[in-house]
Amino acid sequence: MKPKSKIHFEISERKILLRIFDVLLVLSGLYFVSSVFDFAYFKISTTNWAWSIVLVIYLTVFATIFELYNLQKTNDIDRVFKNIVLTTSVTVLFYLLTPFYTPSLPANRLQILYFFLAILGSLFVWRLAYITFISSPRFYKNVLVVGDSFEIDKIVSNLQAADPHYVVVGYLNTSNHNPSSSIPKVEIAELLQAVKQMRIGEIVVSSSLQEGVGKDLYTKLMVLLKQGYPIKEYFHVYEDITSRLPVEHMDKDFYKYFPFSRSNQNKLYLFFHRLFDLIFSGIGLGVLLLFIPFVCLLNLGWNRGALFYRQTRVGRGGEEFEIIKFRTMVKDAEKNGAQFASKHDARITVFGKFLRKTRIDEIPQFVNVIRGEMSFIGPRPERPYFVRELSKSISFYEIRHSIKPGLTGWAQVSTKYGECEEDSLTKLQYDLYYIKHRGLFLDLRIILKTMSTVIFFRGQ
């Protein structure tokens, strides 16, 4: 029988756990404060059930925006406390400003302080407990990777970067090629014993169709499967953990793992997607009118040149169009030819850096959205020169042109600015993930993460 393994929560389970306990602990904290202290502003009762629902909605939305559910940042107590303060402050502010669905403002302003401290204290106590106990090694998952001709160290870094609790402790190579690695190697004859000794919680198989899994290995894997060990395919594990597609490993098997999202042909989804584009574009252009006087003034002193900048990009179906942006680079920035922008690019002006950090430089592209050349959400449009070059070196690159490009997208909120071909490959993995899983909930996640990017000045 399978030996008792360590407890492990999957990524989706941990996010659900965090959300549930955030809500439960906050409501419990408020109930405790109302029972012990002279606190009458917020009461949990059957007659005032709407108060709790509104609070839960505000709390979960702002906790998402301020990255309390970003698992790569939930183990840092300093960062978590900062985000808790931001989440609590904005939640309380919005709650106080919507008295139609929430309690009327109390005459005694001390009640507001009780309300704020109850939410802040509850969240902090729960997240401290999460970091102390659930993020401990007891909840790690030991993984064994089985496959042929793979770069084990790259697989390890990819998986553990996405989920630190996912620990590759060994690998079994089915090919004649033996990669050098610090990860312990397991032979087929030792597999059953090694799985028990290493306390393996999951076996990940990465094998091409040409080579496959040999009969001896297949037999041993079936024994482990019958004993209750989960055996998963690497592509699916990678996709679930990283939220991107390992396109560089797919080769001719790509379409086996890439069914296009039904939303790409769903007329109802596409109608509301377009309606959403038009509504946000109207709001965006209204904001543009407010910003233009300030941008013009600052542009005269810090940019010294044309206010707007036009550049040819590749859109849906490979058709070219011109995007409109606020200029962020010096004049004749590409007199020596097209090149990737980098994080500390000397061509970007002082004011241009501010425009990029705040994403204000992207606002004029709402004109492109209204024209139908772009959408609010989608892969960022790339320049024809880079499309031609990247299409030669990166397989399936042009699939990103199967939908409209966007002002923001899954790649933009999930990874850094593309400075080289390797970064472009990573962005493509995220773009293809979006095309494959495109839908309402993923769009909402992108919107919330975009708001977080703007709030924390992470634009590049």
Nearest to 240 by CA among 162, 140, 181: 162
Q: Cα(first)–Cα(last) distance of the chain, in Å?
A: 53
Are 79 and 24 in the same domain? yes
Give the 3-state secondary structure of 347-403: CECHHHHHHHHHCHHHHHHHHHHHHCCCEEECCCCCCHHHHHHHHHHCCCHHHHHHC
Are 118 and 147 in the same domain? no
Residue 328's contacts (CB-CB under 8 Å, 6 or more residues apart) are 303, 309, 348, 349, 351, 352, 353, 355, 356, 361
Are 425 and 292 in the same domain? yes
**DSSP bridge partners of 311:** 323
Alpha carbons 423 and 27: distance in angstroms, whole number = 43
**DSSP bridge partners of 435:** none
Are 225 and 168 in the same domain? yes
Alpha helices in 176-266 (DSSP H): 191-197, 215-226, 234-242, 254-257
For residue 422, being part of any structural domain is answered with: yes
251: left (phi over 0), alpha (psi -120 to 50) or beta: left
Are 79 and 214 in the same domain? no
Contact 25, 123 (CB under 8 A): yes
Nearest to 343 by CA among 410, 411, 418: 418
Tokens coding 262 = 């039904």
pTM given for the model: 0.79
Nearest to 196 by CA among 156, 155, 159, 144: 144
Q: What is the pLDDT of residues 382-430, one digit of tens each?
A: 999 999 999 888 888 888 999 999 999 999 888 876 667 788 888 999 9
Alpha carbons 448 and 159: distance in angstroms, whole number = 24
Alpha carbons 121 and 103: distance in angstroms, whole number = 21
Tokens coding 52 = 């709790």
For residue 252, being part of any structural domain is answered with: no
The last residue of a domain, from among 92, 117, 134: 134
Alpha carbons 306 and 161: distance in angstroms, whole number = 42
Locus of tokens 């919107």: 447
For residue 177, being part of any structural domain is answered with: yes
Coil/strand/helix, residue 166: strand
Alpha carbons 412 and 431: distance in angstroms, whole number = 9
Burial label for 438, CB within 10 Å (0-12, 13-18, 19+), is buried
Q: How many CB atoms lie within 10 A of CB 144?
A: 25
Q: How many CB atoms lie within 10 A of CB 35?
A: 8
For residue 65, being part of any structural domain is answered with: yes
Q: What is the pLDDT of residues 344-353, one digit of tens each?
A: 667 888 888 8
Are 130 and 144 in the same domain? no
The last residue of a domain, from among 110, 134, 158: 134
Q: How many CB atoms lie within 10 A of CB 156?
A: 20
Are 284 and 431 in the same domain? yes
The last residue of a domain, from among 80, 111, 134: 134
Burial label for 265, CB within 10 Å (0-12, 13-18, 19+), is exposed
Locus of tokens 């010096």: 330
pLDDT in tens, the chain (460 residues): 444 556 777 777 888 999 999 999 999 999 998 888 888 888 887 778 888 899 999 999 999 998 899 887 888 888 899 999 999 999 999 998 887 778 888 778 888 889 999 999 999 999 999 988 887 666 788 999 887 756 777 777 877 777 778 888 888 887 766 666 778 888 888 999 999 999 898 998 876 544 556 788 889 989 998 888 899 888 888 888 888 888 766 665 556 656 666 777 888 999 999 999 999 999 999 988 888 888 888 888 777 778 888 999 999 999 999 999 988 887 766 666 666 666 666 788 888 888 888 888 889 999 999 999 999 999 999 999 999 999 888 888 888 999 999 999 999 888 876 667 788 888 999 999 999 889 888 999 899 888 887 777 665 5
Are 328 and 445 in the same domain? yes
For residue 251, being part of any structural domain is answered with: no
Tokens coding 96 = 């106080």
Alpha carbons 370 and 278: distance in angstroms, whole number = 6
Locus of tokens 């000794």: 197
For residue 371, being part of any structural domain is answered with: yes
pLDDT of residue 342: 62
Burial 307-330 (b: 16+ CB within 10 A, else e): eebeeebbbbeeeebebbbbbbbe
User: Can you give the CATH number for the domain in which 173 is found?
Assistant: 3.40.50.10700
Are 150 and 129 in the same domain? no
- Number of separate domains in the chain: 3
Residue 276 CB-half CA count within 13 A = 14
Torsion 387-389-391-394 (CA) sign: negative
For residue 451, being part of any structural domain is answered with: yes
Are 282 and 333 in the same domain? yes
Are 127 and 169 in the same domain? no
Q: Residue 228's domain spans which residues?
A: 140-242
Are 173 and 229 in the same domain? yes
For residue 254, being part of any structural domain is answered with: no
